[in-house]
Amino acid sequence: MASIRKLVYDKSKPLVFPGVYDAITAKIAQKVGFEAMFQTGYGTSASLLGMPDYGFIGSTETIENARRICKAVSVPVIVDVDTGYGNPLSVWKIVNELETIGAAGIFLEDQKWPKRCGHMAGKEVIPKEEYAEKLRAAIDARKSKEFIIVARTDARATEGFDAAIERGLLYKEIGADAIFVEAPKSVDEMKKIGNSIKAPLVANMIEGGATPLLPSDQLHKMGFNLILYPLSVLYASTFATIEILKELKESGTTSKLRKRLVNFDQFNNIVELLKFRKMENKYATK
């Protein structure tokens, strides 16, 4: 497995990585060549519960989903743990459990629980001193420096842009490996983040979200090392599912859209059927 710390701190090129929400989307992301991936909290809530990123999932759902995803791939998986689901001891516990199952790191945010997606209205943040306690607990909990901790602030929406920068600087000083100022609203704001915080920075590219969608090379020049597309796979899967089910409902067949589907053999290749057939033959009674 590639070193996530090396990828995060590599200033020569940006790390562009997608959000995944289950084992099959993770396997596909690895198969097409991504060096790392992100377990999206919104995708976890939507795929497990059919509900929005509105504080409905907890540590159990997050950890169990991460266990399946990490087992399915051999590249680093960074896990969205929302606010840590409680106090500093809760954060300590989830870091310990995620590192044990093979996760490569976490995103930890400073919203008040129950949280909501960073591009939704109505967010609130906890005092920065309270978040600092959670961040220190996360740093203390990890057994290896290879496990990275990304500190996220949602203060842009609640306390203003300058306050969000101040929080980012504080979280860097405490020891976060990367800083994520969520939902800047303009290119100028993004440039100011890059100029103000000298640390690995996250650019969160959500289609239809509050932040401008920019090419990765442009973001890298602004100072963003980590270019995250957290919901692209979820949105694409949803679009494709709607299209195929509408066609099936209206026409009674999927024949018209057959060229837009992977076929049986292609899908079997993704889930490595041949590997298991070889194992089956190996253990078969002679």
What's the whole-model pTM score? 0.96
pLDDT digits (tens, 9 = 90+) for 33-66: 999 999 999 999 999 999 999 999 999 999 999 9
Structural domain includes residue 211: yes
Residue 2 has a pLDDT of 81
What does the mean pLDDT of the chain come to?
96
- The predicted model gives 205-210 an average pLDDT of 95
- For position 80, what pLDDT does the model report? 98
* Residue 270 located in a structural domain: no
Task: Please indicate, yes or no, if residue 262 is contained in any of the structural domains.
Answer: no
Helix (H, G, I), strand (E, B) or coil at 141: helix
The Cα 12–Cα 34 span in angstroms is 17
Average pLDDT over residues 182-188: 97
Residue 182 maps to a domain? yes
Q: Is residue 9 over pLDDT 90?
A: yes
Give the model's pLDDT for residue 168. 98
Lowest mean pLDDT, pick from 24-28, 121-125, 185-189? 121-125
Q: In what order do the strands lie in the sheet with 202-204?
A: 178-181, 148-153, 105-109, 77-80, 37-39, 15-20, 226-229, 202-204
Tokens of 67: 């266990």
The total number of structural domains in the chain stands at 1
Q: Residue 252 burial (CB < 10 Å; 0-12/13-18/19+)?
A: exposed
Q: Is the CB of residue 126 less than 8 Å from the CB of residue 87? A: no
pLDDT of residue 75: 98
Q: Does 126 reside within a domain?
A: yes
Mean per-residue pLDDT, 172-198: 98
pLDDT at 158 over 90: yes
How far, CA to CA in Å, does 135 sit from each of 24, 199, 241, 271?
A: 31, 16, 39, 37
The tokens describing 21, both together, are 């929400």
CATH number at residue 70: 3.20.20.60
Here the tokens at position 217 are: 């090379």
Count of all residues that appear for the chain in the document? 286
Q: How many of the other CB atoms lie within 10 Å of CB of 171?
A: 27
Residue with tokens 């300058």: 162
Residue 29 confidence (pLDDT) above 90: yes
Contact predicate 154/123, CB 8 Å: yes
pLDDT band at 137 (very low <50, low <70, confident <90, very high): very high
254 within some domain: no
37 within domain boundaries: yes
- Per-residue confidence at 228, pLDDT binned at 50, 70, 90? very high
pLDDT in tens, 249-265: 999 999 999 999 999 99
Angle between helices 23-31 and 59-72 (to 10 degrees): 40
pLDDT of residue 96: 98
Mean pLDDT (whole number) for 155-159: 95
Structural domain boundaries, residue 191: 4-237
In a domain, 244, yes or no: no
